[in-house]
Structure 1
Amino acid sequence: MYTFLTESAVAAEMAMFLPRIDTMIAVFYFGLFAMSFDFISGYTGYLSFGHAAFYGLGAYFVILVANGKVPILGANTPFMVSLLVAGLLAVGLALLIGAVSFRLSGVYFAMITLGFSQILYVLFANWDFVSQNPQDGVSATVSEGFAVGIPYVDALNMRIGRLLGDTFTFGFDFVQMTGIELLSPISHTISLSGTEVSYYMIGLVVLVSYFVLQRIIHSPFGRAMIAIRENEERARAVGYDVFRVKMGAFAISGFFGAVAGGLLAGYRGSVAPENSFYFLTAGDALLASIIGGFGTIAGPLFGRLFHEGLHEFLSKEGGGLLPYLRSELGQGTLDTVIWNGFTVAEGMETFLNGRAGLYIGLLFVLFVLYVPHGLLGTLRVRLGGTVAKRLPAHIQRYLR
């Protein structure tokens, strides 16, 4: 007997294994942070374990501006302006940290940047100016979300925010043409929820940031960064001002790290020391870079998507592996005894429920051992170049 699934049933099956839209939004803004981390660590070889300093600075600055606690910028300052200023402040912070840290290299550089990040973590976790309970973080007083788009042009702005419940409806008309005959105009409308608008607008900022980072990497400055990564002494010998190149790369990565933090705060409407300045935030960026591929810019974004998608697949309720098995396996199979009264259902609860972190950790070890170039890096090695340049030729080869 054959069972034919309807289109809606297939969509339901696919949705069970795909990340939710709010998960994808988190992938976007944290993926940008991971890309900024990869920009300095993957292209110069200097691991910035304190990169969360820029992420947290951008997040806190955006919230403080919205709450009217920044004297120069008022509470009505457009979100995109505060995001830009946050990035510039991160550039200044990066130059300050880099002036001290780049006198060292290797693990010493990583540790001193981590030290700076922890100083800011302790500062914002105990600074009463931030909020009455700074350890719990701070929330924005605005409830209508933050506008992403062209500042001061309302028609070119859309509001983002996790708590937005409004539905945005867009209408447009177009005229059908058959031969030389014009038919009557047809009106169409598109309705998007607040979460969907956040998805597209945050994704747009991340996409623009990615193209800017890619352009820098493919410039003479980017080639100087790669030369430093490959052999710093040789780069110095051929005439590169190594210190200035490293400082410039650190400043650029700090700028985009702060932008990512601002997007985090803009979407969530709040920020806390634990999800911004904490040193494990940089550790998550390192994990995303290793899974996606060091020195690829786009790799960390795919690495974060892989990480979050797998975590959700192994742990979420209402979808994912465990609920899927519960719904698909018959009761007789679930009640089958494996050993000494231990049933299949109990085995699923023991080995799957709440064990996502365990399997992701094991997968990370396997990546380090057997996929050292990461997902995108391995694909580039197999194709013999960047995906954009080599993939079309490979596709044409199979289409012949």
Structure 2
Amino acid sequence: MTTVLYFGLFAMSFDFISGYTGYLSFGHAAFYGTGAYTVILVANGLVPLFPTSTPFMISLLVGGVFAVVLAVVIGLVSFRLSGVYFAMITLGFAQVLYIFVRGWDYVAANPRDGPSVGGTHPAGFEIGIPGVDQLNLAIGVLAGEEATVLGHTLGSTAVSYYMVGLVALGCYFAMQRILHSPFGRVMLAIRENEERAVAIGYNTYLYKLGAFAISGFFGAIAGGLFAGFRRSATPESSFYFLTTGDALLASIIGGFGTLAGPLYGHLFDETVREFLSKSGQGGGLLPYLRAGLGDQALATPIFGDMTLGVLIDTLLNGHASLYVGIVFVLFVLYVPDGLLGTVRTRVGGTLADAARDRFRDDHSTPERTEGDDE
């Protein structure tokens, strides 16, 4: 679930630019990797002006600023194009960065072992208010921190979940605020009809560049959370183009142009993969069938030498990605608005607006009639 939170934030940053301006950023992994590598490099003392004692929250912001600069550089060239050409040129920029980082010995913990980055922050990867020890908790898949809340002890996994979730929630509200501002309304105008937006006087080039920089900032925050939780980063796990592909998958399943939808889309994706995985650590289908059917039922011949157990293994063992692909195709064909988008269509708006209207209807004062006074 911690993975769902930080990658869901990355998918939301992808939806911020792609779903609200209509410009598909296939190179969005560049920002995710920038945030991840900045956090680890700062922790290892490899970024000038930032010692190893730099608080994790500062490292996150530094990674975000670097991503903004990178987004401006990429956007200055890319936004001179549109449609599939914009998507491909951003993908090209990301692949160039991927190859560059993979072969750069300076960012490798040990060049002989390959271009991986590792390290442990002396003060811990702590989320909170820098300088106030009581308001900081370290995250990490292996070296997290325990906490006691209202007499209940939370393990390192739970602490990581809540602290990463706190940052992801804050970033979501920040992006939501931007989308509901006049700036966000221009983003929507660009998506619906850019020529009309230009005709009424908006410099859409600058607005697109600003939206791209904002999305890059939050994408880097997500990458920094990933690196802080995993305590390492590699080009394959951050800069590779399939990272953007996973964000695209989450956005389509959750709903383009919904902001929160990609988070639910990635949760759905991870749930299906877990349910159909080999191990099924969360209670997958394959372990359930093996335990529920029993050895005698699994040994039942189906045809020839094939037993029921062999058939189940053939259909389920290691084929989670195949079934996720089938689900993805079904969503594109029959649920084009995604999970959250379809729900919003059914209720006639956002869930918050629908709940507010329902609450007002239930608590509204009945209209007075002439006979009420009598």
TM-score norm. by structure 1 comes to 0.86
Partner of 2:25: 48
Partner of 1:300: 262
Residues 1:362 and 2:326 are matched in the alignment: yes
CA distance in structure 1 between the aligned counterparts of 2:124 and 2:301, rounded to whole angstroms = 53
Mapping of 1:206-221 within 5 angstroms? 206-221=168-183
CA distance in structure 2 between the aligned counterparts of 1:135 and 1:125, rounded to whole angstroms = 8
Give 1:353 deviation, angstroms. Answer: 1.0
Partner of 1:6: none
Q: What do you get for the CA RMSD once the two structures are aligned?
A: 1.8
Decide which moves more: 47-56 or 332-341. 332-341
Give 1:144 deviation, angstroms. Answer: 6.4
Q: The residue matched to 2:270 in structure 1 has which SS?
A: helix
Alpha-carbon distance change, 78 to 233 in structure 1, aligned in 2, over 3 angstroms: same
Mapping of 1:197-346 within 5 angstroms? 197-315=159-277, 316-318=279-281, 319-346=283-310
Q: The residue matched to 2:148 in structure 1 has which SS?
A: strand
Partner of 2:347: 383
- Report Cα offsets for 1:177-196 as digits up to 9, x if no partner: xxxxxxxxxxx511111111
Decide which moves more: 36-45 or 115-124. 115-124
Unmatched runs of 5 consecutive residues or more in structure 2: 363-374
Give 1:205 deviation, angstroms. Answer: 0.2
Partner of 1:15: none
Select the residue among 126, 140, 156 that pairs with 2:135. Answer: 156
Q: The residue matched to 2:107 in structure 1 has which SS?
A: coil
TM-score norm. by structure 2 comes to 0.92
CA distance in structure 2 between the aligned counterparts of 1:165 and 1:129, rounded to whole angstroms = 27
Alpha-carbon distance change, 71 to 115 in structure 1, aligned in 2, over 3 angstroms: same
Q: The residue matched to 2:352 in structure 1 has which SS?
A: helix
- Report Cα offsets for 1:145-191 as digits up to 9, x if no partner: 40001111111100001112654334xxxxxxxxxxxxxxxxx5111
Residues 1:104 and 2:68 are matched in the alignment: no
Give 1:332 deviation, angstroms. Answer: 3.3
Give 1:392 deviation, angstroms. Answer: 5.8
Partner of 2:367: none
Which amino acid letter does the alignment assign opposite residue 132 of structure 2? V
CA distance in structure 1 between the aligned counterparts of 2:243 and 2:211, rounded to whole angstroms = 20
Residues 1:117 and 2:117 are matched in the alignment: no
> Contact 1:145–1:267 (CA<8 Å) still a contact in 2?
no
> Contact 1:35–1:298 (CA<8 Å) still a contact in 2?
yes
> Contact 1:383–1:391 (CA<8 Å) still a contact in 2?
no
Q: The residue matched to 1:84 in structure 2 has which SS?
A: helix
Select the residue among 35, 38, 49 that pairs with 2:15. Answer: 38
Runs of 4+ in 1 over 6 A off after TM superposition: 394-398
- Report Cα offsets for 1:20-40 as digits up to 9, x if no partner: xxxx11111111000000000
Which amino acid letter does the alignment assign opposite residue 116 of structure 1? F
Partner of 1:182: none
Alpha-carbon distance change, 389 to 165 in structure 1, aligned in 2, over 3 angstroms: closer
Residues 1:147 and 2:109 are matched in the alignment: no
> Contact 2:107–2:115 (CA<8 Å) still a contact in 1?
no
Q: The residue matched to 1:129 in structure 2 has which SS?
A: helix
Select the residue among 74, 94, 107 that pairs with 1:130. Answer: 107
Give 1:336 deviation, angstroms. Answer: 2.1
> Contact 1:64–1:130 (CA<8 Å) still a contact in 2?
yes
Give 1:317 deviation, angstroms. Answer: 3.7
CA distance in structure 2 between the aligned counterparts of 1:365 and 1:374, rounded to whole angstroms = 12
Unmatched runs of 5 consecutive residues or more in structure 1: 1-23, 171-187
> Contact 1:144–1:164 (CA<8 Å) still a contact in 2?
no
Q: The residue matched to 1:233 in structure 2 has which SS?
A: helix
Select the residue among 132, 148, 152 that pairs with 1:169. Answer: 148
- Report Cα offsets for 1:223-280 as digits up to 9, x if no partner: 1000000010011111211011101100100000000000000000000000100011
